[in-house]
Structure 1
């Protein structure tokens, strides 16, 4: 799904976003509006805003996030704003590459000589068209060291936010791989979720090492458990 060209299509998108915002609010998940995709970039009505990627519409977005129906009506009255969910209150989130996300949710691929056990994740998982998987979990807890040092894994907590389906980004729509409804809006324990991600990470490393040497030389290792650099903070990452 791309930016609807016809005005009627844009109206339908705005209504879908408004209904989704209300659904999250009804379950106690505060929402805040983000920029809207205008066919070229994530725009907003602030003349001094130079951001082109997804970003909050309001400077004080965390303080003004809301579950109030009247406020949501006002925010989504004219524009198909992105639906953003502030993290660190009801939930925290962990954003990972698609390869790791798919392994954690679906388990290893099936086939001759392959294990067929499913993944261990039992919570909401949002996916972007750019290949980022975001796992929601109960707020609080510590960040597993095996994930904390990775540049391709980002934890979203206080001061950060995630784009929620059906938000449309320049690369395409955000969708649920595992929707909140599928898990009755229950959020997994942070330690259990991170353990599932670490196990998936170890499995991917092992699968890479099982490849023939020539194949490994042609491919960059998809997952490395050793430190690979400093990770940018979610707040800075989301501000541009």
Structure 2
């Protein structure tokens, strides 16, 4: 008898694109509302349409993920009415502003994964992009340690910056939680402790960073 690795064909149910869009919009809206309820200011991000992001502004030249509002600092809010209104018709990505409720330490997987493996829930909320960027939400105000600041693939998002929050969709795939905020009671870890462990991993890492430094705290809606 000959064995084969071929799996039996299973027909997947057809889901109309319009229904998929509504499901995405509901998931994104619910996530935005949950963040806002816990005091994390949110704003709508551009909608992923094919290989680029559409913010709804005619002639916008930005093709990557970016805000769908003119001024992120002025628009970001925790007001439930405004949040519901933004996601009433379009599946906007969910952007979290940084520097007030929390800062974000964005690092490559080689630095981030070992920290979550070792600290577990003590690492606090941690989001991961499909491109392999790990984002640690920490208490705000702590500057980067010197050894991390020297690395071009480490970004501290503070005042004036933002991150795409799960379940926002990037070109490479959706952003997901490695450690959801609800799992840790929406508490944030001490930034110095997380940086200490990231720095230890950076000292053991070999090779040159592959991801260039982003605009970090200079990131703007424009």
**TM-score, normalization: structure 1?**
0.80
2:90 maps to which residue?
A: 79
Go from structure 1 to structure 2 and tell me whether the alpha carbon gap of 1:175 and 1:120 turns closer, same or farther (over 3 Å shift): closer
1:194 and 2:195 matched: yes
C-alpha distance in structure 2 between counterparts of 1:139 and 1:238, whole Å = 19
1:183 matched to which residue of 2? 184
Tell me the residue number matched to 2:8: none
The SS at the match of 2:142 is coil
Residues 121, 179 of structure 2: 8 Å contact kept: no
Equivalences for residues 125-136 of structure 1 within 5 A: 125-136=126-137
Corresponding residue for residue 171 of structure 1: 172
1:94-173 matched pairs, under 5 angstroms: 94-107=105-118, 122-173=123-174
Distance 1:172 1:193 in 2: 26
Indicate conservation of the 8 Å contact 1:149/1:231, yes or no: no
Deviation per residue, 1:72-116 (Å, 9 max, x gap): 111001110010000001000011111111122114xxxxxxxxx
Distance 1:36-1:126 versus aligned 2 partners, 3 A rule: same
Change (3 A) 1:169 1:5: farther
Q: Which residue, 35, 39, 52 being the options, matches 2:46?
A: 35
Aligned partners of 2:69 and 2:221 also within 8 Å: no
CA contact (8 A) 2:43 2:94 kept: yes
Deviation at 1:142, TM superposition (A): 2.3
* Aligned positions, number: 207
* Structure-2 separation of matches of 1:92 and 1:132: 15
Give the superposition deviation at 1:233: 2.8
| Kept in 2: contact 1:104–1:120 (CA 8 A) | no
Q: What does 1:226-237 correspond to in 2, within 5 Å? A: 231-235=213-217
Contact 1:103 1:119 in 2 (8 A): no
* 1:20 equivalent in alignment to 2:31: yes
Instruction: Render the CA deviation track for 1:186-219: whole Å, top value 9, x for unaligned.
Output: 10111111112112222x33xx5xxxxxxxxxxx
Which consecutive residues of structure 1, in runs of 5 or more, have no partner in the other structure?
A: 108-117, 209-220, 224-229
Unaligned runs of 5+ residues in structure 2 are 1-14
C-alpha distance 33-41 of structure 1, shift in aligned 2 (>3 A)? same
CA RMSD of aligned residues (A): 2.2
SS in 2 for 1:150: coil
- Normalized against structure 2, the TM-score is what? 0.86
Alpha carbons 1:127, 1:134 under 8 Å: kept: yes
Cα distance 1:8–1:178, how it changes in 2: closer, same or farther (>3 A)?
same
Question: Are the structure 2 counterparts of residues 232 and 45 from structure 1 closer, same or farther at C-alpha, using a change threshold of 3 Å?
Answer: closer
Seen in structure 2, the aligned counterparts of structure 1 residues 36 and 5 have a Cα distance that, compared at 3 Å, is farther
